[in-house]
Structure formats: C-alpha cells, structure tokens
Amino acid sequence: MAQNKSSNTIIKGFVLPGLVQPLLSPDANPGYRKIRTAFEKVREEIERSQADLILIYSTMWPSILGHQIQAMPEPEWNLVDEEFHELGTIHYKLKIDSEFAECYNKHALKRGLHSRTIAHHGFPIDTGSVVALKLINPENRIPAVIVSSNIYSDRAETVVLGKAAVSALKEQGKRAVAVIISTLSNRLHADFIDPKDDKINSLKDQEWNLKILEFLEKGRLEDVAQLSRQIQREARVKKVSNFKPFWWLSAVMGAHNRYTGQIYEYQPIYGTGSAVIGLTPALNASRDLEFDEDAPEYYTGERNVLSLSSESMADFSSQQNSGNFDGSTEMENEDNENI
C-alpha cells in the first residue's frame, strides 16, 4: 500500500458541519451553541497553526462537469439558505487564494481529472463553505480555496483530486489546514420541529455516528475513509453517488491512521449528526484494521457506468497503474463495482 508523503504540507485536518444554525441561531438549542463554541476552538487552532491556506472540500457544493475550484479573489454576496431562509441573511466577503486555485486545477488536469476554476461575480458559493469560513476565519486572516464534490465521481477520482491538492501545495511550498464540510449522518427531520426538541433523526444514524466518532477519536482516518461505502449505505441519504469527503481528506493528509483525533463536539442539528472533529498528524499509528482499497495516482476518465456495451466491459480499466507520480509505488486496478 502506498503511503502519501504529504504530512509536511497539511498541518491539521478538520471535519465541519455546514448547516446554518450555529452561525444564525446558536441559542435556539444548547447543542447549536456547543457546535458554535467548537467552531471557535477550531478558529483558534487555525490561527495558531501558521497555515498559509485553508483548503476546503465541500459536500454541499455539487458539480457535474468534473470538479470546480473557486478562484474568485474576493467573492462577496448576501446568502440566504434555501432550507432555513427564515433564519436570516449571511453577508460574506471571502479571501480566496486564486493562484493556488489555478495551481490545484493544473495538477488536477495533469492527473487526468476533468476540472476547472470558477471566478464569476455572484457564483453561489455553498452554504456550508460560507458558514465554516465565517466561523473559523472571520477576519479572512488566511486565504481559502474551495473545491466541489462531483455527484458522479467515486473513490478513484476523489482520491486523485486529493493528491492533486498535495502536488499543488508542494509546488507552491504552502502549508494548509484541510477541511471537509460534511455532516456524519445527513438525514434532516422531514417535518418542522421546535429547535429545542432537536435530536438525531434515528437510532441507526446515532449508532453509525458514534462508530465514526470512535474511529476518528483514535486518529483512524484511513479506516474511516475505507468504510465510506458502508457509511453511505447505512447513514447517508443517497443524494449523490457515494460518501466521498473522507476519501479526499485521507488522500490530502496521508492515507494512514497516524493521527491524533479530537472530537470537539457532536450534536444534532435538525436531525443530522453534526460533529466538529480535528485530526493532527502524529508519530504513533492506530492499527490498520480496515485497509483493503488501493490508492490510485492518476484518473483515466469515463467509466461508462451506464453504457454496458461488451466493448466497454472488455476494455474496462478505471485506473492507470504505471507512470507513477511523485515516485510512489505501483497501483492495482480497482473500483470495478462501478460497472
């Protein structure tokens, strides 16, 4: 199994929920306030980290044509959440590292991905990224870059997207904190509730959230990444093809379990399992218990998931296992469950 030699480029990793309540209505429920307080702790940690960049992968920014990378230097807007519009308007003005965005895009393309940068006034930056940046980087002290989550992509493409970020960091000599915007279980209540009565939507969601938290508290990032398909089946509403954020995070931080995990907070927000979690590279590893998927370096494109011609079946090969990037070891093909 190849190990990603990226630990010097990523100082810390964070898992942050993207719902608006901690920003707009923190006192509607004591749990929302606790999440807000946890965001503030993350803000302090990031300020102390001396990171050059906040690198965000948001599950709340879906894309179709490959991946999109935000590159507008100072995007500004009055955002209203499409679900919780009654909670108010969020004015934001962000600071984006456009140069890094271009560099990230260059490396994504070089690794066979379809991607592009986005720099249009009024582009709808996703609520989750805005909420997170308002809370962890309110003064824009550190520039950010945000990358979308492609609705059709699966593990290989997402892992390669993470590795492209590492290549860009290395080229620019930057150190970053990596952030994924994602809830654990993502099932909201289907009917309107009094925020005071908020709870995790189901016992099953609760059990899976606790399992994920248990892993991450022990620093077992790659184990959680490799459980992503099962998490998708068990604890996620199927809005997209798969549960991808931990694939990206482990590819960016290094696909192993040598982390110190910290659960800052875990609370229900409108039924979802919303957790604020930190991961810091460490010397000691938890045991690697769940590894069975591989770590491709390149993405070789369309897998024709709906075109089941005999030709495409016969020629199927989702990954390139030669021409190694960054001198890493050879890879096996994988992902054939996508056919």
Quick one: residue 162, left, alpha or beta (phi over 0 = left, psi -120 to 50 = alpha)?
A: alpha
Q: Which is nearer to another protein, 31 or 281 (CB)?
A: 31
Q: C-beta of 267: minimal distance to another protein in Å?
A: 18
Q: C-beta of 114: minimal distance to another protein in Å?
A: 5
Q: C-beta of 239: minimal distance to another protein in Å?
A: 5
Contact 295, 251 (CB under 8 A): yes
Q: C-beta of 263: minimal distance to another protein in Å?
A: 25
Contact 57, 248 (CB under 8 A): yes
Each residue 213-252 as x (binds another protein by CB under 8 A) or -, in order, gives ------------------------xxx-------------
Supply the DSSP symbol for 284.
S
How far apart are alpha carbons 93 and 143 in whole angstroms?
11
Most distant CA pair in the chain, distance: 59
Contact 312, 304 (CB under 8 A): yes
Each residue 151-170 as x (binds another protein by CB under 8 A) or -, in order, gives -x------------------
Q: C-beta of 328: minimal distance to another protein in Å?
A: 26
How far apart are alpha carbons 249 and 158 in whole angstroms?
9
Which of 270, 320, 266 has the alpha carbon at shortest distance from 110?
A: 320
**Which residues between 37 and 66 bind another protein (CB under 8 A)?**
61-66
**Which residues between 262 and 321 bind another protein (CB under 8 A)?**
270, 302, 306-307
Residue 199 touching another protein (CB under 8 A): no
| CA distances (Å), origin 153, targets 65, 84, 148, 188 | 10, 28, 11, 24
Which of 42, 69, 47 has the alpha carbon at shortest distance from 57?
A: 69
Each residue 78-117 as x (binds another protein by CB under 8 A) or -, in order, gives xxx-xx-xx-xx------------------------x---
Q: Of residues 187, 220, 244, 258, which one binds another protein by CB under 8 A?
A: 187
Interface contacts to another protein, rule CB under 8 A? 61-66, 78-80, 82-83, 85-86, 88-89, 114, 118, 120-124, 150, 152, 187-192, 237-239, 270, 302, 306-307
